[in-house]
Amino acid sequence: MTVRLESEGPLAVVVLDRPEALNAFDYATLLRLGDIVAELGRRSEIHVVLFRGEGRAFSVGADLKERRTLTEAEVRRNVETIQRVFHAVARLPQPTIAVLHGYAFGGGFELALACDFRFAAPGTVMGLTETSLGIIPGAGGTQRLARLVGPMRAKELIFTARRITAEEALRLGILTGVADDPLSAARALAAAIADNAPLAVRAAKFAIDRGLEVDLETGLALETKAYETLIPTRDRREALEAFAEKRKPRFTGE
């Protein structure tokens, strides 16, 4: 199986599992990843989602061996599929964390950019290298990288196909952190998030992500709408009761 799903209480871990191909994305892998992401979007008991790669790399992006055998129509199919799947990752209601090691090139880096947070091991090398292959990033890279580091820096990295280390990526604001054990760092952040009311975390993610796509006035209206969805929840009432009783709230996601 090219992608597997592991559940650990409120935490889900999506594992890219083609280590012999450095977790490159062929069409079958994209379909499997899309199915898992769709399932996670329906699972209210999952509060945080991690993405990691098996073997020596997070992912080196598109499977170029497969790509050489495809017709132009099949290439378009693959590009449309990876766009759809990574957009679904970005739209997951739960916070998402990418755990990088080894290499994260092309589509592999774009998957990480579609996540809310990114941790990497020291020395991890990453980049949007598509222009060196006669194409451009086609799974959100031109848009998400520019929003992270600004258009000038994104153009420099994409036009030159330059590879950067985790340390430079951290300085540029691409990474949340660099850690000897990035999986443990990601789990620690996931645990801190999962301590809070899951409906509130989802509402906050919605307000931030959708608000950045519109003008400030519309964004503030989205924030108000997101807040209003939480007023009738049991978790809000539980938090007030816990405060009055001087105890930790027990959130149920209701």
The yes-or-no verdict on residue 115 having pLDDT over 90 is: yes
Torsion sign across C-alpha atoms 87, 139, 85, 172: negative
What string of DSSP letters covers the chain?
--EEEEEETTEEEEEE--GGGTT-B-HHHHHHHHHHHHHHHH-TT--EEEEEESTT-SB--B-HHHHTT--HHHHHHHHHHHHHHHHHHHT-SS-EEEEE-SEEETHHHHHHHTSSEEEE-TT-EEE--GGGGTS---SSHHHHHHHHH-HHHHHHHHHHT--EEHHHHHHHT--SEE-SSHHHHHHHHHHHHHTS-HHHHHHHHHHHHHHTTS-HHHHHHHHHHHHHHHTT-HHHHHHHHHHHHTS-------
- The torsion angles phi and psi of 236, rounded to 5 degrees, stand at -65, -45
Determine the Cα–Cα distance for residues 195 and 251; give it in Å rounded to an integer.
Answer: 8
Confidence of residue 31 (pLDDT cuts 50, 70, 90): very high
Which two tokens mark 5?
A: 């799903």
Determine the Cα–Cα distance for residues 117 and 126; give it in Å rounded to an integer.
Answer: 15
Please give the pLDDT value at position 183.
97
The yes-or-no verdict on residue 253 having pLDDT over 90 is: no
Residues 136 and 234 in one domain: no
Q: Is residue 252 in a domain? A: no
Active-site pick, 45, 110, 217, 241 = 110
Contact 158, 167 (CB under 8 A): no
Residues 127 and 180 in one domain: yes
Please give the pLDDT value at position 34.
97
Residues 120 and 58 in one domain: yes
Q: What is the pLDDT of residues 63-114, one digit of tens each?
A: 999 989 999 999 999 999 999 999 999 999 999 999 999 999 999 999 999 9
Residues 161 and 190 in one domain: yes
Please give the pLDDT value at position 180.
97
Q: Is residue 251 in a domain? A: no
Choose among 112, 241, 89, 84: nearest CA to 182: 112
Instruction: Specify the length of the chain in residues.
Output: 254
Residues 133 and 148 in one domain: yes
What is the average pLDDT value for the chain, to the nearest integer? 96
Determine the Cα–Cα distance for residues 37 and 242; give it in Å rounded to an integer.
Answer: 34
Contact 90, 110 (CB under 8 A): no
Q: Is residue 239 in a domain? A: yes
Determine the Cα–Cα distance for residues 15 and 23; give it in Å rounded to an integer.
Answer: 10
Residues 227 and 107 in one domain: no
Q: What is the pLDDT of residues 215-231, one digit of tens each?
A: 999 999 999 999 999 99
Boundary (domain end) residue, out of 155, 172, 194: 194
Q: What is the pLDDT of residues 181-219, one digit of tens each?
A: 999 999 999 999 999 999 999 999 999 999 999 999 999
Determine the Cα–Cα distance for residues 236 and 254; give it in Å rounded to an integer.
Answer: 9
CATH number of the domain where residue 231 is located: 1.10.12.10
Q: Is residue 254 in a domain? A: no
**Amino acid identity of 192?**
A
Please give the pLDDT value at position 1.
80
Task: Indicate if 110 belongs to the active site.
Answer: yes
Q: In what order do the strands lie in the sheet with 11-16?
A: 3-8, 11-16, 48-53, 96-100, 117-120, 177-178
Q: Is residue 250 in a domain? A: no
- Domain with 54, as residue range(s), is 3-194
Identify any residues that bridge with 8 across adjacent strands, giving them in sequence order: 11
- Percent of the chain at pLDDT above 90? 98
pTM of the model as a whole? 0.94
Residues 45 and 103 in one domain: yes
Counted domains in the chain: 2
Please give the pLDDT value at position 130.
96
For the ranges 14-28, 106-120, 143-157, 239-253, the lowest mean pLDDT is seen at 239-253
Residues 138 and 204 in one domain: no
Please give the pLDDT value at position 202.
97
Active-site pick, 130, 167, 228, 245 = 130
Confidence of residue 12 (pLDDT cuts 50, 70, 90): very high
Residues 177 and 238 in one domain: no
Residues 142 and 16 in one domain: yes
Residues 118 and 187 in one domain: yes
Task: Indicate if 130 belongs to the active site.
Answer: yes
Q: Is residue 153 in a domain? A: yes
Q: Is residue 79 in a domain? A: yes
Residues 178 and 229 in one domain: no
Please give the pLDDT value at position 162.
96
